[in-house]
Amino acid sequence: MNSAIVGLQWGDEGKGKVVQKFSRSHEWIVRFSGGPNAGHTVYHNGKKVVHHLVPTGTDKNKLFIGRGTLVNFDILNDEIAKLSEIYPDIKERLFISEWCRVITPVERWQDAEIEKLKGAKSVGTTGMGIGPTISNDANRIALHVFDLFDERIFREKAKLLKKFCGYQKDFEDDLLKSFNKVRERVEDPKISGDILFEGTQGIMLDPMYGTYPYVTSTPTIPSYLSYGSGIKAGYEVFGVFKAYVTRVGAGPFPTELNDDTGDAIRKSGGEFGSTTGRPRRCGWIDLPQLKYAIEISNTDHLVMTKADVLNGFDKIGVCVGYDRPFCVHDLEDVNAEIEYIKGWKNLESSEFGDFVSLIEKYIQKRIDYISFGPSEEEIKVR
């Protein structure tokens, strides 16, 4: 059976290790969206690796970077080199769609300049050039992987891109050199067998269904995966969420804790961006937000992660409503209604069971898996 794993909050829900666990029952792992702005922290044979572009899998999986993914070849090559130390044949099992859009130094420069121009209205991007690449693609001047196979065409298009964007430096030679390291892996393969579609970031960052304008630039909802991968397939959706909530960058966050409790969650959960290293904003779980994300993503199965991070807190907050109806593009200045319950010592405590029951009652859906540590072995079925 095909599966899609997506985040139900603002990203950083711990999807990487969930993908790693489920990869063992699938033949293919497919990325269908996002780019190196996303980071999945996974432990391979005890060694920590942050995946930015290479799909998360084991030594048995075939890996496909689908056409909806934005590629930075320098980051991709570094990642392949690190994974090759663990899986020597990783490169032979990796395929890259020729339709992937290519992030160049032009877009990374644009990203920084646009954030400066926005000033107080900046959204806090990762600076990876994601938004400008999408914008340039809409203007029909972005580079695609297929452009790099013909050097004359590539240089002509690169010249137009620089002229359009007002970029003065040459990057063509370096980009070609980086591309040539993975040139032979460019192929849209014929995929058969069970597929696991690996989502990036979270539903609340989707550009059409998230907290616009504080969103990412590529779709995060599972209904995009066939379009973004080029694969027509049915699938079950596994939605991943934390026992609390985090987000990186600017934007509304109704349950944010700007106090010692928020600091304690950040420290206990190691809540620092895997891509940027920035400290994540932390807050109590938000049930209206979670229910919205479950409905918009048509989630079939729920996975709660980082439940153990809240071990030892005297009381736990749960947002059960706002002072006005939920509206995804109007969460600024809402007042969250927080219900406090007794904390728990460990996940075997009855108090933790009460926490789970409270969530399930509100969202009207069962939580099928609970994660309680950084490795894939620390996920239990309920």
**Domain residue limits at 60:** 3-99+187-237
Euclidean distance between CA atoms 284 and 353, whole angstroms:
17
Domain containing residue 85: CATH number: 3.40.440.10
Are 204 and 350 part of one and the same domain? Answer: no
Residue type for 310, please? L
Residue 341 near residue 354, CB atoms below 8 Å: yes
Per DSSP, the residues of 192-236 read: -S-EEEE--S-GGG-TTTSSTTSS-SS--SGGGHHHHHS-----E
Residue 254 near residue 10, CB atoms below 8 Å: no
Domain containing residue 154: CATH number: 1.10.300.10
Point out the catalytic residue in the list 12, 147, 286, 308.
12
Are 230 and 331 part of one and the same domain? Answer: no
Strand extents, DSSP E, the chain: 3-7, 28-31, 40-44, 47-51, 62-65, 70-71, 94-96, 101-102, 143-144, 195-198, 236-242, 244-247, 281-286, 301-305, 315-322, 336-342, 367-371, 379-381
Going by the DSSP 8-state scheme, the letter that residue 351 receives in this structure is H
CA 19 to chain centre: 12
pLDDT (0 to 100) of residue 50: 87
Are 65 and 118 part of one and the same domain? Answer: no
- Residue 40 annotated as catalytic: yes
- Average pLDDT per block of 10 residues along the chain, 382 residues long: 96 91 94 90 83 92 97 97 94 97 97 88 85 96 98 98 96 98 96 94 96 95 95 96 94 96 94 81 98 98 96 97 96 95 95 97 97 81 85
CA 236 to chain centre: 18
Are 32 and 121 part of one and the same domain? Answer: no
Are 267 and 326 part of one and the same domain? Answer: yes
- Residue 12 annotated as catalytic: yes
Are 74 and 52 part of one and the same domain? Answer: yes
| Residues forming a β-bridge with 233 | none
- Which of 145, 169, 184 is a domain's end point? 184
Are 162 and 193 part of one and the same domain? Answer: no
- Which of 184, 208, 226 is a domain's end point? 184
Are 289 and 369 part of one and the same domain? Answer: yes
Its pTM stands at 0.93
Are 116 and 138 part of one and the same domain? Answer: yes
Euclidean distance between CA atoms 69 and 84, whole angstroms:
22
CA 276 to chain centre: 13
Are 254 and 357 part of one and the same domain? Answer: yes
Domain containing residue 297: CATH number: 3.90.170.10
Are 219 and 274 part of one and the same domain? Answer: no
pLDDT (0 to 100) of residue 169: 96
Point out the catalytic residue in the list 26, 40, 51, 52.
40
pLDDT (0 to 100) of residue 378: 83
Q: How big is the chain, counted in residues?
A: 382
Are 180 and 192 part of one and the same domain? Answer: no
Per the structure block, which two tokens stand in for 219?
A: 């779709």
How many domains does the structure of the chain reveal? Answer: 3
